[in-house]
């Protein structure tokens, strides 16, 4: 299998590439500005099973060239303008998020790629308080009301899902995807979960850190779990998607203050300042989200739960990467 991953050097793309390469598949990381620092250890051991391609999803030509040059058999589309940036620049969001997704699906259709996986988001829902308590945690059939703090981003994800379904029905593509909760892991620099990356990465480096949103409830999922879920979608029999195409990743529901408490238990010497203003959520995102459909349909369960398990893994990677970058060994070191 040769998988083109748009936004491929981002947090999720890099984790998915690790899993693909580890089992002998090829990963083509397609990115407008490749974050080579994130995948540097992987490049030292992957050989010809990894390629990094500089390209723009707003260019159908770039995508078709990558598909044809590398013999791509599946696409995982992760490239997207994130929430706050979408609010600030709706025109950029429209080009990348709407046109870019259309181009990905067109490249698959024209290039003979049979399967496309799309990254949706829990931003398609509203905050927990918009739903009856009996409907929590939210399943995929909950009304799509769009998180009020990231309306351009969330609405784009709803469009993405409908566009994918259209290409599946009209052209016979196998299209499916995930609605990730807030994804955390080493090197997270952008998006709603940037605070989780900064918190754990700086603690791992022995640096002080200030965290806001202390009272907010969030649904957090570790990046390796999301990568494993995408891998399961890549391998699944297309008949599995007849009932539904998009699945919640699920996540651990905690307040940001509770997340900090977990970090402090694991690293007692951590210097963390928590600030709070009575926030109920982050950007209006749902905090109670169920992955039951994914478990029942594909049998894939999150491994990095409860939250302490994921944070411990995140800390280990952050420490190892810090050592690798100082030349002290670590993942990918000779």
**DSSP letters along 271-315, please?**
-EEE--S---SSTT--S-B--HHHHHHH----SS-SHHHHHHHHH
Decide: pTM greater than 0.85.
Answer: yes
CA separation for the pair 251, 221 (Å, rounded): 5
Here the tokens at position 192 are 């709603």
Per-residue pLDDT of the chain (334 residues; tens, 9 = 90+): 999 999 999 999 999 999 999 999 999 999 999 999 999 999 999 999 999 999 999 999 999 999 999 999 999 999 999 999 999 999 999 999 999 999 999 999 999 999 999 999 999 999 999 999 999 999 999 999 999 999 999 999 999 999 999 999 999 999 999 999 999 999 887 766 688 888 999 999 999 999 999 999 999 999 999 999 999 999 999 999 999 999 999 999 999 999 999 999 999 999 999 999 889 999 999 999 999 999 999 999 999 999 999 999 999 999 998 765 544 443 322 2
Could you say which DSSP state residue 247 is in? E
Q: What is the pLDDT of residue 334?
A: 20
Query: Distance from first CA to last CA of the chain, Å, rounded?
Result: 27
pLDDT at position 301: 96
What is the sign of the dihedral through the CA atoms of 63, 95, 119 and 115? negative
Question: What number of other Cβ atoms are within 10 A of residue 139's Cβ?
Answer: 15
Residue 107: asked if its preceding bond is cis (omega within 30°), the reply is no
Domains and CATH numbers, the chain: 2-325 (3.40.50.720)
Residue 76 contacts residue 16 (beta carbons within 8 Å): yes
* Res 192: pLDDT: 64
Q: 196 is written with which tokens?
A: 């989780």
Q: What is the DSSP letter of 138?
A: B
User: CA dihedral defined by 48, 54, 55, 61, rounded to 10 degrees?
Assistant: -60
Residues 46, 238: Cα–Cα separation, whole Å:
29
Q: For residue 178, list its beta bridge partners.
A: 119, 247
Residue 69 backbone dihedrals phi, psi, to 5 degrees: -65, -30
């Amino acid at each position: 299998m040769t998988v083109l991953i748009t936004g491929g050097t981002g947090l999720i793309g890099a984790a998915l590439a690790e899993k693909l390469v580890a089992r002998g598949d090829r990963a083509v990381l397609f990115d407008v500005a490749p974050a080579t620092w994130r995948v540097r250890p992987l490049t030292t051991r992957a050989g010809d099973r990894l390629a990094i391609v500089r390209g723009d999803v707003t260019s159908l030509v770039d995508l078709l060239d990558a598909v044809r040059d590398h013999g791509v058999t599946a696409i995982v589309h992760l490239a997207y303008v994130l929430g706050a940036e979408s609010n600030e620049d709706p025109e950029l969001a429209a080009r990348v998020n709407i046109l870019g997704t259309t181009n990905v699906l067109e490249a698959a259709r024209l290039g003979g790629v049979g399967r496309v996986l799309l990254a949706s988001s829990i931003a398609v829902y509203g905050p927990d308080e918009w739903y009856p308590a009996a409907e929590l945690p939210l399943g995929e059939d909950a009304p799509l009301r769009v998180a009020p703090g990231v309306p351009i981003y969330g609405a784009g994800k709803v469009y993405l899902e409908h566009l994918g379904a259209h290409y599946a029905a009209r052209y016979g593509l196998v299209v499916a995807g995930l609605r990730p909760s807030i994804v955390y892991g080493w090197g997270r620099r952008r998006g709603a979960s940037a605070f989780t990356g900064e918190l754990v990465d700086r603690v791992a480096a022995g640096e002080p850190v200030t965290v806001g949103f202390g009272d907010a409830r969030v649904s957090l999922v570790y990046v390796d779990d999301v990568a494993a879920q995408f891998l399961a979608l890549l391998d699944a029999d297309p008949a599995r998607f007849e009932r539904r195409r998009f699945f919640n990743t699920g996540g651990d529901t905690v307040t940001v203050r509770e997340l900090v408490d977990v970090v402090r238990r694991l690293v007692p010497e951590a210097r963390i300042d928590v600030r709070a203003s009575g926030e109920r959520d982050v950007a209006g995102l749902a905090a109670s989200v169920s992955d039951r459909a994914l478990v029942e349909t594909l049998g894939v369960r999150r491994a990095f739960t409860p939250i302490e398990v994921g944070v411990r893994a995140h800390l280990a990677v952050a420490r190892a990467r810090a050592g690798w970058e100082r030349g002290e060994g670590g993942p990918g070191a000779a």
